[in-house]
């Protein structure tokens, strides 16, 4: 197999920026290995622990060490793929990190639904042309997907027309390097606007297979939420909406189901939202029922 490490990572979906970061971490690890007379092809679990200890002595925080280990793990996965080694000891190491705050200012199911329904009722006088009316229709569909399916800007960019299954009442969210694919139920409030939007795409006979043709979908979502904030200043960004959706799901669904719905590759990602929900409750109890 002649595929280089760079080509291997590109094929796996890593960006050029990520590859540069990987290489920087690997250079650091290689220098340390040479200094300690450690054979990279015969790395032991104890060697890996020694490296972690060394990085801590250098003053690196756990988060930075985890990033280094991820880069090293990718390299050893590559060596396994090339059949140059049989075991990736780095993949057996887990560093416990302090739970971080997901986001503040959670929105309830009722608040999210009100935001969506009121945005749909944009006054006719604000639709100054067919273009603005089509943009409002598209934005209504996107807002519905953010609020009811909790998808990200990246998900929006990957959605294709064929992923919408109106007869089944579902939408397929394709996988990415960071998330799993999933089939999600659509809500009744979404159907009419989504059907109209699909009809518009068909009428205009667009060549693109994507549900939302164009570039810079992050900017598309940011522009939409800027409009929403005029009426709902408590809305901050798409990340807040997604976090709210996931935390609301956790109140009615088991954690494995929420992991699937959110597209999380690891159950730990889902657990962070549950942990924050408990922390928020504890802070509220302390605020309204202080001890002592």
For the chain, the first-to-last Cα distance in angstroms comes to: 69
Q: What is the pLDDT of residue 200?
A: 85
- Report the relative pairing of strands 182-185 and 170-173 from DSSP bridges: antiparallel
Sheet containing strand 170-173, strands side by side: 164-165, 170-173, 182-185
Helix, coil or strand: residue 75? helix
Give the integer Cα–Cα distance in Å for 211 and 265.
Answer: 25
Give the integer Cα–Cα distance in Å for 264 and 245.
Answer: 14
Provide the greatest CA pair distance for the chain. Answer: 74
Q: What is the pLDDT of residue 207?
A: 67
Long-range contacts of 258-261, Cβ-Cβ distance < 8 Å, separation of 24 or more: 260/180, 260/182, 261/149, 261/150, 261/182, 261/184
Q: Is the pTM of this model over 0.75?
A: no
Give the integer Cα–Cα distance in Å for 5 and 11.
Answer: 10
Domains of the chain: 5-92 (1.10.150.130), 109-287 (1.10.443.10)
Tens-place pLDDT, residues 172-206: 999 998 899 999 999 999 999 999 999 888 766 56
- Tokens representing 153 are 């800007």
Q: What is the pLDDT of residue 24?
A: 95
Q: What is the pLDDT of residue 4?
A: 93
Helix, coil or strand: residue 98? coil
Low-confidence ranges of the chain (pLDDT < 70): 1, 96-104, 123-128, 203-207, 275-292
- Tokens representing 107 are 């929105």
User: DSSP secondary structure string, 185-240?
Assistant: EPPHHHHHHHHHHHHHHHHTT----BSS-SS-HHHHHHHHHHHHHHH-TT---HHH
């Amino acid at each position: 197999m002649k595929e280089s490490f760079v080509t291997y990572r590109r094929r796996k979906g890593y960006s050029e920026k990520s590859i540069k970061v990987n290489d920087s971490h690997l250079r650091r690890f290689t220098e340390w290995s040479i200094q300690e007379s450690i054979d990279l092809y015969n790395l032991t679990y104890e060697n890996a622990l020694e490296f972690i200890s060394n990085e801590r002595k250098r003053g690196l925080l756990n988060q930075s060490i985890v990033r280094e280990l991820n880069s090293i793990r990718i390299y050893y996965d590559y060596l396994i793929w090339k059949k140059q080694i049989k075991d990736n000891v780095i993949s057996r190491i887990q560093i416990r990190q302090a739970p971080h705050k997901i986001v503040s200012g959670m929105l309830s199911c009722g608040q999210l639904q009100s935001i969506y329904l009121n945005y749909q009722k944009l006054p006719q006088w604000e639709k100054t042309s067919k273009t603005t009316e089509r943009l409002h229709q598209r934005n209504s569909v996107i807002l519905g997907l953010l609020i009811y399916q909790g998808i990200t800007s990246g998900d929006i960019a990957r959605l294709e027309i064929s992923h919408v299954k109106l007869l089944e009442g579902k939408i397929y969210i394709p996988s990415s390097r960071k998330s799993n694919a999933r089939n999600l139920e659509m809500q009744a409030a979404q159907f009419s606007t989504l059907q109209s939007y699909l009809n518009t795409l068909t009428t205009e006979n667009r060549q693109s297979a994507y549900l939302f043709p164009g570039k810079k979908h992050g900017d598309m979502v940011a522009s939409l939420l800027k409009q929403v904030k005029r009426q709902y200043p408590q809305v901050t960004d798409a990340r807040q909406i997604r976090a709210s959706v996931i935390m609301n799901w956790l109140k009615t669904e088991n954690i494995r189901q929420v992991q699937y719905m959110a597209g999380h590759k690891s159950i730990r990602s889902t657990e962070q939202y549950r942990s924050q929900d408990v922390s928020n409750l504890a802070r509220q109890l302390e605020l309204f029922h202080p001890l002592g």
